Structure 1
Amino acid sequence: MTGTEIELPVDGGVLSGLDFGGGGRNVLLVHGSGQNAAAWTDVATRLADRCHPVAVDLRGHGQTRLASTGPEQYWQDIGSVVAALSWERPLLVGHSSGGYAVTAAAACGLLEPAALCLVDGMVLNDRGTALAWHAAARTAEAADRLRTRFRYGWETGEEQMQAYVGRCVRDAADDPLNAGARPGLVGAVARRSFLRRGGRWVRQPTVEEIAAVSDVGQCAHAFPSNDVYERVTCPVTVVLADGGSYAARRDEVRAVVDAAPGRRLVELASNHNVPMTKPAELAAVVLGLLEDGVRQA
């Protein structure tokens, strides 16, 4: 199953997405920075018999042509996406920066989710530390690292694009992010990251997209710092990868979980890229949430 291509209207245009069909409770799957909707394919395939999963390409990612001009548009779009789908109280599942995206959308009241599932995707710094961290992400040196490692913003022809996708598949086993992922899935995610513009292909996201969403000094509604969780009132499940981005900060994650009722911590043996490398385990967590009584109107 690869999902059916859909377009979802948001402010200024549309987001691309994949609708994996199914019936019953609605589940929105939100990818992290640098990935796209295809990253959820192996999770969604395991969900579609028992719920209705949809994955989106956020601004500047995948096949979405809209780019961010500020740091908050990409998560504000989540409210518009849910409205376009005519959903009420969906389960929101976000990986990496997508975990913050669904958190911010819930914290600001853009929608009323049944629950959040944050997959190795949290904000644990205080405001001062977060501001400094994001400022560092906007430097020329940081942009060069992204271009070198991930080819962000690379503009190329068909042959070179296909060769790059092939290399991603061949190198997956030695890639700290993709090791353990199904090769065909690695190829699908890499291929979806190229957007056709004229006669060329552009690797999304661009470094300009990363810089725009990192300009958090302009945040007016939800600053990406640890106090955002004080504004989240729905149930929250945090999936913590023991080889992921937050493993060394488990005590801080635990403190967020323990700070309010209706929160729980699930730990998985995984690298950071849980949706692609541990799809069966993650799908089981999501289905468990639904079976435990996540209710949708």
Structure 2
Amino acid sequence: MVSGTRTEVPVDDGVLSGLDFGGRGPDVLLVHGSGHNAAVWTDVAAHLVEHCHPVAVDLRGHGQSMLASSTPEQYWRDLGTVVEALRLDRPVLVGHSTGGYAVTAAVAAGLVDGAALCVVDGMVLDERAAATAAPARWQNPQAAEELRETFRYGWHATEQQMHSYIEQCVREAETDWLNAGSRPELVRAVMRRSFLRCSDTLYERRPSLDEIAVVSAPDPHAAMYPSVDVYMHIRCPITFVLPDTGFYAQRRDEVQTLVDVAANRELVEISANHNVPMTQPAELAAIVGEVVRRHS
């Protein structure tokens, strides 16, 4: 199984951590969603290396990237620097969940010249006026506590506590709403990468609640905003991957509308939950591979 070679990617104020999975052929940049990290793409990459060169990166505040966000746009603006630093040549950009918006915004802002986008259950569908109201739910203490209880984000754990929690997540994966169907070793790898040593004796579960709060409060007056108008700035082909039990399953018609307004867009529906990269890696890799074949 391909595990990826750890790589350090320089950005404006430090370095991000990444995984280079090797392979030959067109470059593919894989971008995870909130709470995940580069390791989530391991099984997808294993199917891609035969005909392309997949690379994944830990976004700010995630995985083994020590940098945190000081503005809500840094995490996706970094992608332009990442592509340049890794010398990726017109890569296909694949983004899952929040990573779907990250790759979309980076291309829309002209930071990345992407051959194509593949957005995996990470669409932005609301008009700006409606979208500006959504982030408020993450700015209250109750929401922060829910995230802490559900995912232990921001938790400081000893090495023993960390390993015990990781093994608990592996044991419970098959009945977990997000991880059901994932390979146990993949769950273990993703969870281990989500803990960053923060002192001689403690590890922090990434992301922190501060990271989530910063990223979840974009400027409503910014040129780029996580609302449906962002797609007006996209000229390259877009493939939207819509799982039938994912976050956007009930909004299929709205996704179809996005597809219908441009000839170089398509909707691909699959049977999966939100966590497509971990639960349906072979099927997702086949979709990405087809995008690479047609547009690189």
Please give the range of the TM-score, normalised by the shorter of the 2 chains. over 0.9
> SS of 1:171's equivalent?
helix
Measure, in 2, the Cα distance between the counterparts of 1:218 and 1:80. 24
Q: How far does residue 66 in structure 1 lie from its aligned partner after superposition?
A: 0.2
User: Residues 165 and 125 (structure 1 numbering): CA distance in 2 closer, same or farther, change over 3 Å?
Assistant: same
Letter in 2 for 1:76: R
User: How far apart, in 2, do the equivalents of 1:196 and 1:218 lie?
Assistant: 35
CA distance in 2, matches of 1:211, 1:97: 14
Q: Give per-residue Cα distances to partners, 1:113-155, cap 9 Å, x unaligned.
A: 0000001111111112211110111211111110000000000
Deviation track 1:31-80 (CA, whole Å, cap 9, x = no partner) reads: 00000000000000110111000000000000000000111000000000
2:95 is the alignment partner of 1:87: no
Partner of 2:137: 136
Measure, in 1, the Cα distance between the counterparts of 2:221 and 2:145: 25
Once residues 203 and 28 of structure 1 are traced to their aligned partners in structure 2, the CA distance between those partners, rounded to angstroms, is: 24
How far apart in 1 are the matches of 2:155 and 2:220? 27
Distance 1:221 1:157 in 2: 43
User: 1:135-183: per-residue Cα shift (whole Å, max 9, x none)?
Assistant: 1112111111100000000001000000000000000011111000001
The answer for unaligned runs of 5 or more in structure 1 is none
Task: Find the counterpart in structure 1 of residue 209 from structure 2.
Answer: 207
C-alpha separation between the residues in 2 aligned to 1:155 and 1:80? 31
- Separation in 2 of the partners of 1:20 and 1:195? 21
Q: For 1:272 and 1:126, how far apart are their aligned partners in 2? A: 23
Would the alpha carbon gap of residues 180 and 219 (structure 1) be closer, same or farther in structure 2, given more than 3 Å must change? Answer: farther
Counterpart-to-counterpart distance in 2, 1:177 and 1:9? 32
How many corresponding residue pairs? 294
| Counterpart for residue 40 of structure 2 | 39
Equivalent residues of 1:72, 1:219 under 8 A apart? no
Kept after mapping to 1: 8 A contact 2:5/2:20? yes
Counterpart in the other structure of 2:197 = 196
TM-score normalized by the length of structure 1: 0.97
- Match status 1:225 vs 2:227: yes
C-alpha deviations, 1:210-247, integer Å up to 9, x for none? 00001112663311101100111100000000000000
Q: Which residue of 2 aligns with 1:107?
A: 108
Match for residue 266 of structure 1 among 254, 263, 268: 268
Pairwise mapping of residues 1-16 of structure 1 onto structure 2 (< 5 A)? 1-16=2-17
1:68 partner amino acid:
S
Alignment of 1:45-56 (within 5 A): 45-56=46-57
Tell me the residue number matched to 1:179.
180
Q: Is the 1:71–1:219 contact (alpha carbons within 8 Å) kept by the matching residues of 2?
A: no
Query: Could you tell me whether the CA contact under 8 Å between 2:26 and 2:89 is conserved in 1?
Result: no
Kindly provide the amino acid, as one letter, of the partner of residue 150 in structure 2: R
Which whole-Å CA distance do the structure 2 matches of 1:253 and 1:100 have between them? 14
Paired residues of 1:27 and 1:51 also in contact (CA < 8 A)? yes
Question: Which aligned runs of 4 or more in structure 1 are off by greater than 4 angstroms?
Answer: none
Q: Percent identity?
A: 60
Which digits, 9 at most, give the CA deviation of each residue in 1:92-130, with x for residues without a partner? 000000000000000000021000000111111111221
Q: Secondary structure at the match of 1:161?
A: helix
**Does the 8 Å CA contact 1:115/1:235 hold for their aligned counterparts?**
yes
Residue of structure 2 in register with 1:257 after alignment:
259
Establish whether residue 148 from structure 1 lines up as the match of residue 149 from structure 2. Answer: yes
Task: Name the aligned partner's letter for residue 154 of structure 1.
Answer: W
1:282 to 272, 281, 284: 284
Q: Partner letter of residue 3 of structure 1?
A: G
Are the aligned partners of 2:132 and 2:220 in contact in 1 as well (CA < 8 Å)? no
